[in-house]
Amino acid sequence: MTSPRSLWRHRDFRQLWAAETVSQIGSQVTLVALPLLAVTLLDANAFQMGVLTSLSTLAFLVVGLPAGAWVDRWRRKRVLVTGDLVRAVAIGSLPVATALDVLTLGQLYVVALVAGTATVFFDVGHQSYLPSLVERAQIVDGNSKLEASRAVAQVAGPGITGVLIRVLGAPALIAVDAVSFVLSALFIGRIGTPDVVPDRAARRPLRTEIAEGLSFVVHHPLLRRMVACTGLANLAGSFTGALLVLYAVRELGLSESVVGLVFSAGAVGGLLGAVTAARIARVVGEGRTIPLAALASATAGVTVPLASLGAPVPLLLGGWFLESFAVIVYNVTQVSFRQRLCPPGLLGRMNASVRFIVFGTMPVGGFLGGVVGTWLGVVPALWIAVSGACLAAVPVLLSPLRGMRELPDEWDGGRVPDADPVAPRPGG
């Protein structure tokens, strides 16, 4: 195994990183192209956009918990490859249906549900796989590099969409996403580290294994605060996400290409957050970074409804930059903490339990966004979402995290250390 300073020389990590990068770029293209397809070609209204957003994340609520127990029983590499291929087939059906002039909102709903289900298994397996490929001291660095890929995709994907959507159209760009999942599967298939699967004889009832993962999450005093913060933030974020493209195109009068440009330019903050997250955690302290990043993200969200009062492009650009930066810093810090904290045999169930809670709020938020946007109007609905995002930061702001530098790992037995505002971190 390589040293913590030479992760780029780690062949298996490079394969995982390449798979993440190519898949994320394609996914970011679809993230913009799919709602535009619904709004511009199928004339979807606010309620229908809410349903589409809800279905894309419904699987986290329905199969999120058993997915973790299953992933802990299966070969994680196989889970990742299968998830990629399922998403490639589902998403690839959209440009085919468009070419045959048979595309409907019903098909968009089915594709969102199927792709979302595959994503549940892929994401649980992905986060559980990294600690088995790298050393414990490399986990934060590895997560930072993977988040950097995500941030680069957030910059490049919507930008590509904004430039090419008028030339190729949304269906052709969605086909790019289908190809990206195939490439991702090929990269993951090249990983050579043996994938250890627990002995079948050691398995216990599925309900027992699920309960262990959920209990680990809800009984840890710091982890449950982070989960509460993330879950509430995702509720508000999906509320906003259901209406965002509709708001930008119909309320603000932005063109498809400008929408892509706003997403792309604003996501530069995410790239900055990814490449600086590890250093910020070292300087500020891991514990303090989490509430500060949550507060910054919530504050930045105010610029979205404010854009309806004037200067929409500058406000969206600035807000998107700060929010992306803060969210990535928050994610790198808290995901790295979770991975260090959890024993290897419980990683899949722990990650699934976290995702069940934090992503299980997203279909609810997406549906509520569509309903409230139809009932009160898009702009009032966005103000409600901003209020929810601000409340989401409270669990970590009113916690011991504010005074902590170091966060515990599994060897601490879940103990919450005393706040130490001045002690340096080891090796820092």
Q: Specify the CATH number for the domain of residue 143.
A: 1.20.1250.20
| Residue 342 belongs to some domain of the structure | yes
pLDDT tens digits for 85-136?
999 999 999 999 988 989 999 999 999 899 888 888 887 777 677 777 877 6
d(CA 345, CA 349): 9
| Residue 402 belongs to some domain of the structure | yes
pTM of the model: 0.70
pLDDT tens digits for 249-260?
888 888 776 776
Kindly provide the b/e burial profile for residues 26-40, where b requires at least 16 CB atoms within 10 angstroms of the residue's own CB. bbbbbbbbbbbbbbe
Q: What is the pLDDT of residue 384?
A: 95
| Residue 24 belongs to some domain of the structure | yes
| Residue 253 belongs to some domain of the structure | yes
d(CA 225, CA 231): 10
Q: What is the pLDDT of residue 389?
A: 92
d(CA 347, CA 406): 21
Residue 179 belongs to what domain range? 7-189+206-412
Query: Kindly report the CA angle at 205 between 200 and 211, in degrees rounded to 5?
Result: 120
Yes or no: say if 140 and 281 are a contact pair by the CB < 8 Å rule: yes
Q: How many helices (H) and strands (E) does the chain have?
A: 17, 0
d(CA 43, CA 37): 9
| Residue 220 belongs to some domain of the structure | yes
Count of beta carbons in the 10 Å neighbourhood of residue 85:
15
d(CA 108, CA 100): 15
| Residue 2 belongs to some domain of the structure | no
| Residue 295 belongs to some domain of the structure | yes
Q: How many domains does the chain have?
A: 1
| Residue 422 belongs to some domain of the structure | no
Question: Treating both helix axes as pointing N-terminal to C-terminal, what angle do 256-266 and 11-36 enclose, rounded to 10 degrees?
Answer: 150
Residues in the chain with pLDDT values less than 70: 1-6, 127, 136, 140, 147-148, 150-169, 196-204, 206, 257, 260-261, 263-267, 344-345, 348, 409-428
